């Protein structure tokens, strides 16, 4: 079987959105998806792209994706890459596709001289946690992720 990973293009918007929805369903968060093709078009391919997507193809069939963007470490004085989403269609799991996507993004990080490559995983997602640990990734148990959205974000800026 042939695995190929390619950078997404604007023609892939509906595919990207479908992967996002499948990931949200897997994570039991479908109710939170408000992304549209128009929003993704602007974010990924607009005048100032804010994220990038790589798509995995198995025998030319799209089977997974990785969405990532740059962040910055003041301690390292360098940018890093944050992996927002990684998803492989369930029938294609355990074929090395997820690992290949991670290696692909890690190579991008190295080529761009990034100081780190990081991501978050839901606490209940033991298969993914075990997978990441097998690859040598270390959980940051001493950090707590905070988020402001919706009304809370609006109140803060008022």
- List strand residue ranges (DSSP E) for 74-121, in order: 78-88, 117-119
Neighbours of 158 (CB within 10 A): 5
Q: What pLDDT score does 1 carry?
A: 67
Q: Phi, psi (5° rounding) for residue 115?
A: -85, -20
Global pTM reads 0.93
Q: Does residue 93 register a pLDDT over 80?
A: yes
Active-site entry in 26, 57, 82, 132: 132
pLDDT at 158 over 70: yes
Domain positions in the chain are 3-157
Which tens digits make up the pLDDT trace of 117-133? 999 999 999 999 999 99
Domain 3-157 coded CATH 3.40.630.30: yes
Alpha helices (H) in 9-92, listed in sequence order: 13-26, 37-45
CA distances from 151 to 34, 147, 156 (A): 16, 12, 9
Catalytic residue check, 26:
no
pLDDT band, very low/low/confident/very high, at 144 (cuts 50, 70, 90): confident
Strand-pair partners of 58: 3, 61
Kindly report the average pLDDT of the chain as a whole number.
Answer: 96
- The interaxial angle of helices 37-45 and 13-26, nearest 10 deg, is 110
Q: What's the rounded Cα separation, in Å, for the pair 52 and 10? A: 11
Q: pLDDT tens, 101-118?
A: 999 999 999 999 999 999
Which residues are bridge partners to 20 per DSSP? none
Please report the pLDDT score of residue 116 as a whole number. 96
At 39-89, the pLDDT tens digits run 999 999 999 999 999 999 999 999 999 999 999 999 999 999 999 999 999
């Amino acid at each position: 079987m042939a695995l190929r990973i390619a950078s997404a293009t604007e023609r892939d918007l509906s595919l990207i959105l479908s992967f996002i929805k499948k990931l949200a369903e897997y994570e039991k968060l479908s109710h939170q998806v408000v992304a549209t093709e128009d929003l993704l078009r602007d974010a990924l391919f607009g005048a100032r792209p804010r994220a990038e997507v790589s798509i995995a193809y198995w025998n030319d069939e799209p089977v997974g994706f990785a969405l990532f963007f740059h962040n910055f470490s003041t301690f390292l004085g360098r940018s890093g890459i944050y992996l927002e989403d990684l998803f492989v269609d369930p029938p294609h799991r355990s074929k090395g596709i997820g690992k290949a996507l991670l290696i692909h993004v890690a190579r991008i990080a190295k080529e761009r001289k990034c100081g780190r490559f990081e991501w978050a995983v839901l606490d209940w997602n033991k298969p993914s946690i075990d997978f990441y640990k097998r690859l040598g990734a270390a959980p940051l148990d001493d950090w707590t992720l905070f988020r402001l959205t919706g009304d809370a974000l609006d109140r803060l800026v008022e």
